Structure 1
Amino acid sequence: MRSRGTRGAVVAVFCAVAVLLLGACGTQVAGQGGTIAPPTATGPIPWTTAQPAAVTGARLGDDHRTLLLDTQVPSGKHPCVRDLKAVLTDPMTDLARVQITFSSPSGDTRSGCNGESTATVRLELPEPLGGRDVIVDDYVRFTVDGAKPPALRLCGELGCHPPATGCTAASYDQALMAVDAPEHTYRDSERCDGKWLVLDFSWRTGPACDDTTDPACSSRLGDRWFFRAEKSGWKPIAEGAARGCQNVQRKEPAFPSSMCDALAPLSPSLHPSYPPPSASPTPTPAS
């Protein structure tokens, strides 16, 4: 028979092992059948280098050398940004190329930096900006051309000088962007009078291959849109693959019939909204 001291030692060892197991694997909750996850990691929250989520505005100081840039940066209950700075990445030529960086703990969820706020960063240029454009972080562009000083004008997706609305290839490209046409879209036909536009376009759907006789290599989808000219460019007003004017004149009665009366319907294979043709019933063999 084991002595009381031996049994006590065994119990003590068992309890010690149980404590180690619970510490490593979590604790079981009675009646819930689950395990409480171990506590999250502790220790200092790291600060890492980042770039602004957006650069929303730019303006010049009275000396025409001080550039002020408005940025969107992380925010929260505690400090979320430090060392916000802007630097020239190249010597000024016909452009001023700028990079904005800052340090933030926002990459760690414990930081609480899950909001966003506006912060302005200042950059002293080596000489007056003059007529140069400013490019920030390689993708945001500002120009003095057409701007209202001291502000610079933010350029859009079509650049700082988008093409005027008209019956031109560049103008049709703007119309395709306005309707989020798929990448690698090509225009099939246009009807344009400077104020109104009908645009048919299509895009490949098959694999990339050179055999144009293989339907799998030449299959495509397409669409037809109707536009009205506005100061900002072509504005889409209706879409549809049907014959004639019914799609557009239902939404815009002023659309000229001369531009849509003769429109043929798009082929079902070219328009994704066409329902697939119903299958013909299979004849039942005579008994």
Structure 2
Amino acid sequence: MLVAVLGVAGCAAPGSGIGEHGPGRVGADPSPSWSTGQAEVGAVRPGPGANSVTVQVQALAGREDCSRDVRVTNLEEEREVIFASLVQDSYWSGIVGACPTSTTVEVTITSPRPIGQRQLTINQQAWMLRDGRYNRCSENLGCDPPADRCDPTWTQAAVRGLDVSRHSTGTVEHCDGTWLVMTVPDDPAACGAEARAGCSVDTAVWRYFLRSEPAGWVVVARTGAGGCDDVLKAAPAFPRQLCAGLQPTGRYVTTAPSR
């Protein structure tokens, strides 16, 4: 059985009931009401003890009844992952600007066995322990990205960071771990994820030159031309052997069959 224990590190205002904010109170918003919503997680740290972690929640604050009863729900363990939802009750959360600040509330999650290196998924966000600290896992790279920067995990994460359709995928032309060259169409699914019968797509295809940085691949140049001119203007250190034989990109053109 998993256990959740609540502690307050900041000073959340205590709730005093709906009646105090009923119609007729001077300055009251016409439509506030108590509701339960997801709480914002600010940080996670190990302990106390091997079976617990402490989660710092940024609870709503700024006036009375902004937040109360910050708590853990849907606490489960499955396949070496601990899942939890952190929620709070608020009288004013439905009123924009009614709770302009936050205060830190700490919630302790305890497992029946040592947590160790197991992944935590809190409010759909994954966290992993690295060098004694919990870090948020990347939405695109996951919790344990491969060391090889040419792995599709890294190259497709780079595509998702571009200003292209979410349906676009990259075609890698060259990758040496430091430099990446790939072509990406702007919007290959302009006719929809399931293309309408007879619909045609005619979209630009761009060539992206990227450099490996600690956080991932970073674009240094984009072009539709062949050769090296555009990338060498932006990054003179780019290896010529990776661009010398490149041809212009052209366009992505396709037509869905008629039914």
Greater share of helix residues, 1 or 2?
1
Residues in 2 aligned to 1:174 and 1:110: alpha-carbon distance in whole angstroms = 34
Q: Which of 29, 34, 46 matches 1:60? A: 46
Query: Counterpart in 2 of 1:156?
Result: 138
Assess if the C-alpha contact under 8 Å between 1:178 and 1:236 holds in 2.
Answer: no
- Checking the alignment, whether the CA contact within 8 Å between 1:94 and 1:133 is kept in structure 2 is yes
Cα 1:188–1:156 change in 2 (3 A) is closer
Tell me the distance in 2 between the aligned counterparts of 1:177 and 1:209: 21
Conservation of the 8 A alpha-carbon contact between 2:50 and 2:114 = yes
Counterpart position of 2:242 = 259
The letter of the residue matching 2:181 is: V
In structure 1, stretches of 5+ residues that fail to align are 1-38, 272-287
- 1:141 is matched with 126
The Cα of 1:73 is off from its aligned counterpart by: 3.0
- The letter of the residue matching 2:232 is Q
Q: 2:36 maps to what in 1?
A: 49
Give the conservation status (yes or no) of the 8 Å contact 2:60–2:66. Answer: yes
The separation in 1 between residues aligned to 2:196 and 2:32, in whole angstroms, is 55
Q: 2 CA distance for matches of 1:66 and 1:131?
A: 12
Match of 2:92 among 88, 106, 109: 106
Cα pair distance change 1:93/1:169, threshold 3 Å = closer
Shift of 1:104: 0.8
The match for 1:78 among 58, 61, 64 is 64
Matching residue's letter, 2:42: T
Identify, as 1 or 2, the structure richer in strand: 2
TM-score of the two chains, using structure 2 as the length reference: 0.74
> How far apart are residue 235 of structure 1 and its match?
2.0
CA contact (8 A) 1:221 1:270 kept: yes
The answer as to 2:165 corresponding to 1:186 is no
User: What number of residue pairs does the alignment pair up?
Assistant: 224
User: What RMSD, in angstroms, separates the aligned Cα atoms of the two structures?
Assistant: 2.9
Name structure 2 gaps, 5 residues minimum: 1-25, 254-259
Deviation, structure 1 residue 244: 1.8
Equivalences for residues 79-228 of structure 1 within 5 A: 79-91=65-77, 93-109=79-95, 112-137=98-123, 139-144=124-129, 147-149=130-132, 151-157=133-139, 158-202=141-185, 203-204=187-188, 205-206=190-191, 208-209=194-195, 216-228=199-211
User: Runs of 4+ in structure 1 displaced over 6 angstroms?
Assistant: 39-44
